[in-house]
Each structure stands twice: as C-alpha cells, then as structure tokens.
C-alpha cells in the first residue's frame, strides 16, 4: 500500500539514528544540559544568524504550542490566531486547558492577514468595554499554515511591525518549517523568521526526527524559570539528549533544509500529475501537502491502493483529502501514485 497519509509515518533520517547509536553509552547530563544539546543550540543560532537566540528542545508540537503560549501570556491575555489555526482546531483545547482564550480572526488561505490583525487590535482598544474582554497578548501563526500556504517576507515583516506597535510577541508554529523554507518560491529564510518572530519553533517530528521541536526565543525574551515551567507542564525530558542529538545532526551540513527540499521536490512531481489529470485543488499549496477535492466514489476506489488523509467534507458528493510527501517519500512511490490517478 502506498502511503501519503502524513509526514510523520516513518522513523528518523538515518544520520540521526546513527548519531544516537554512536553516542549511546556516553554518560550525559539530564534535562537538556548535555553537550550535544549545547552543540545543537549553537548550530541553530548560527543557522538563524541570531547569536542571542535561546533554544529549548521539546517532544512534540501541541506540547510546544501549549507551553510557549502559556509561558508568554499574562493572566488577562489570550492569543490571536486565524480561525483555521492548528491550536484553534486540532489540538483538543490544549491552549484553553492552560486557562487562556484563543482570539479568532478570519483567515485567507489559512493565513492571518496583516490588515485584519491591525484592524482587530485597533478595534479592541477602541472598544469601551475592553476591560471586560480578553486582552490580545500574543499572535500565533504557523508557517507553512494549516493549508500548506506560506507567508511572504513582506507579510511577516508587516505582522512583526503590527505586533511591535501593540507590544505583543509574534509566535510562529514551525511544525513543518523545513518544508516551508525549502520551497523554491519562498523569499523567507530562517534568519528572516528569527528576525520577524519573537519566538518560533523548528519542527523535527515532521521533518526527519523521531521526536523533537526546537523552541527559539530570539529577543532575549525567554520567560523566567522556563525550565521550571517546562517541568510544570510535564514537558521537560529527562533525557534531553534525545532531541539534542537529533537536532545536532539535523543542523549539521544543512541536513534540515535538504530533507525539506526532497519533500518539496516529491510534492512537485505529484502536484504536476494532479494538474495534468485535471484534478481540482481545494487550495493552492506550494509545500508538501496537497489538498484535492475528490468525488466520493473516486475517493473510495483510490483508498484501495493508497493511503491519504480525510481533510473535510466538501459537499454531499465530494470530499477534501490531503496527500502529504515528506523527507522519507520515495520517488518510486510518487511515480506509482501518479500512475494510479
């Protein structure tokens, strides 16, 4: 059975496994204080062109969003997000579990539009009842977004300016950041992300690691006692070496971007095949996730030979489904799938 069901179906890139094996019997400090975590942090700082970046490694994406948002918000604040934001739709209320509201604003192709953000923030402070409302305390975006779309550099810059004017941090969920950065059409680099965001995370779980996300605070703005907050959230790994060694490998010799580029190339072949065969795209995504509208009968037939994801109901006769490529997708599998279309 072919699988395009998601980008976290395989284990880890072999170079990561190899490093885990090589370092296995070394006795290292716990809780992220080991030398490999330190090395990984240094390499991430270099890749971000941000010397003062403060880096922490967590196990998964929802956990990272939950801890970072809870740590950065004040008690009277919530987080602004697009209505399609992952934290708002598919994280089982993890943010609200920490006591904070998600302040939803409309999206465009999964993106939070700068003008809409500015309008929202302005209107909030103009509202005479705002002392009875949840204050906007930070802004959440993901890159790529929930629909695989990408912000332009100009859009990021503009979001950053607006956040600056209202003194709220801009936070980027980079669960699939590698696939965004590797996209040939993007003008956004990792240093751009570090410049425009106050905090973001570099996703490992979906880009070649067994587990692990690297949170980067870029403006000397790490919350006080952040390690304690990680512990309090159940997010502090005793063996910090596990993500540390993997990120050290991911940021050696450009592996992280290389993995991203592979997935993007595989998606490109597939996208072209869908186009040529006249399939309907639900949305134009330039990254590793393709959202296709299938007639339900067609969907059932395809399911017999290939695994993909239900995304949402389109209408009574059609369904939006997702095909995802990844660092692990083999070109042979892509060719087999295109032959089936």
Q: 85 to 144, contacts with a copy of itself by CB under 8 A?
A: 89-94, 96-102, 104, 123, 126-129, 131-135
**Least spacing, CB of residue 80 vs a copy of itself, in Å:** 13
**Least spacing, CB of residue 215 vs a copy of itself, in Å:** 13
Reduce the secondary structure of the chain to three states and give it as a string.
Answer: CEECCCCCCCCCCHHHHHHHHHCCCCCCCCCCCCHHHHHHHHHHHHHHCCCCCEEEEECCHHHHHHHHHHHHCCCCEEEEEECCCHHHHCCCCHHHHCCCCEEEECEECCEECHHHHHHHHHHHHHCCCHHHCCEEEEEEEECCCCCCCCCCHHHHHHHHHHHHHCCCCEEEECCCHHHHHCCCCCCCCHHHHHHHCCEEEEECCCCCCCCCEEEEECCCCCCCCHHHHHHHCCCCCCCCHHHHHHHHHHCCCCHHHHHHHHHHHHHHHHHHHHHHCCCEEEECCCCCEEEEEEEHHHHHHHHCCEECEEEEEEECCEEEEEEECCCCCCHHHHHHHHHHC
**Least spacing, CB of residue 8 vs a copy of itself, in Å:** 5
Q: Rule CB under 8 A: is residue 71 a binding residue for a copy of itself? A: yes
Q: Rule CB under 8 A: is residue 9 a binding residue for a copy of itself? A: yes
**Least spacing, CB of residue 224 vs a copy of itself, in Å:** 7
Choose one: 106-114, 159-167, 226-234, 298-306; the region binding a copy of itself (CB under 8 A). Answer: 226-234
Half-sphere exposure of 186 (CA within 13 A, CB side): 27
**Least spacing, CB of residue 46 vs a copy of itself, in Å:** 26
- Specify whether the CB–CB gap between 30 and 239 falls below 8 A: yes
Binding-site size, a copy of itself (CB under 8 A): 85
**Least spacing, CB of residue 195 vs a copy of itself, in Å:** 28
- The Cβ of residue 165 has, within 10 Å, a number of other Cβ atoms equal to 11
Among 47, 138, 236, 290, binds a copy of itself (CB under 8 A): 236
**Least spacing, CB of residue 10 vs a copy of itself, in Å:** 6
Cβ proximity to a copy of itself, 49 vs 133, nearer residue: 133
- Specify whether the CB–CB gap between 86 and 65 falls below 8 A: yes
Give residues 15-44 in contact with a copy of itself (rule: CB under 8 A): 17, 20-21, 23-30
The rounded distance, in Å, linking the Cα atoms of 201 and 143 is 10
Site string for a copy of itself, 320-339 (x = CB under 8 A): --------x-----------
The rounded distance, in Å, linking the Cα atoms of 303 and 293 is 14
Cβ proximity to a copy of itself, 113 vs 134, nearer residue: 134
Among 52, 231, 272, 335, binds a copy of itself (CB under 8 A): 231
Cβ proximity to a copy of itself, 86 vs 155, nearer residue: 86
Site string for a copy of itself, 191-210 (x = CB under 8 A): --------------xx---x
**Least spacing, CB of residue 91 vs a copy of itself, in Å:** 7
| 292 preceded by a cis bond (ω within 30 of 0) | no
Choose one: 69-77, 152-160, 176-184, 293-301; the region binding a copy of itself (CB under 8 A). Answer: 69-77
Choose one: 8-16, 176-184, 190-198, 257-265; the region binding a copy of itself (CB under 8 A). Answer: 8-16
Q: Rule CB under 8 A: is residue 54 a binding residue for a copy of itself? A: no
Give residues 144-163 in contact with a copy of itself (rule: CB under 8 A): none
Give residues 254-293 in contact with a copy of itself (rule: CB under 8 A): none
């Amino acid at each position: 059975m072919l699988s395009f069901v998601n980008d976290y179906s395989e284990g880890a890139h072999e170079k990561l496994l190899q490093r885990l094996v090589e370092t296995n019997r070394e006795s290292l400090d716990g809780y992220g204080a080991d030398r490999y975590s330190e090395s990984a942090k240094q390499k991430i700082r270099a890749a971000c062109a941000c010397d003062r970046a403060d880096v922490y490694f967590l196990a998964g994406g929802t956990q990272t969003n939950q801890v970072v948002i809870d740590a950065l918000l004040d008690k009277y604040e919530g987080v602004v997000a697009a209505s399609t934001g992952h934290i708002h739709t598919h994280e089982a209320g993890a943010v609200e579990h920490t006591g904070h509201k998600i302040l939803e604003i409309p999206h465009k192709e999964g993106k939070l539009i700068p003008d809409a953000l500015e309008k929202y923030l302005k209107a909030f402070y103009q509202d005479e009842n705002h002392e009875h409302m949840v204050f906007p305390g930070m802004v959440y975006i993901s890159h790529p977004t929930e629909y695989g779309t990408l912000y332009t550099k100009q859009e990021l810059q503009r979001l950053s300016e607006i956040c600056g004017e209202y003194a709220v941090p801009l936070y980027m969920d980079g669960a699939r950041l590698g696939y965004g950065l590797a996209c040939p059409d993007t003008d956004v680099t990792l240093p751009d992300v570090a410049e425009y965001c106050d905090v973001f995370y570099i996703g490992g779980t979906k880009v070649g690691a067994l587990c692990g996300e690297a949170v980067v605070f870029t403006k000397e703005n790490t919350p006080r006692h952040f390690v304690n907050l990680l512990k309090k959230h159940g997010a502090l790994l005793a063996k910090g070496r596990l993500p540390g060694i993997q990120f050290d490998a991911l940021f050696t010799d450009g592996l992280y971007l290389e993995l991203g580029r592979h997935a993007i190339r595989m998606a490109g072949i597939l996208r072209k095949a869908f186009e040529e065969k006249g399939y309907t795209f639900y949305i134009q995504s330039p990254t590793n996730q393709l959202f296709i509208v299938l007639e339900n009968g067609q969907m059932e037939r395809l399911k017999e030979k290939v695994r993909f994801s239900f995304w949402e109901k389109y209408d009574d006769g059609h369904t939006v489904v997702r095909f995802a490529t990844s660092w692990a997708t083999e070109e042979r599998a892509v060719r087999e799938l295109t032959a089936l279309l």
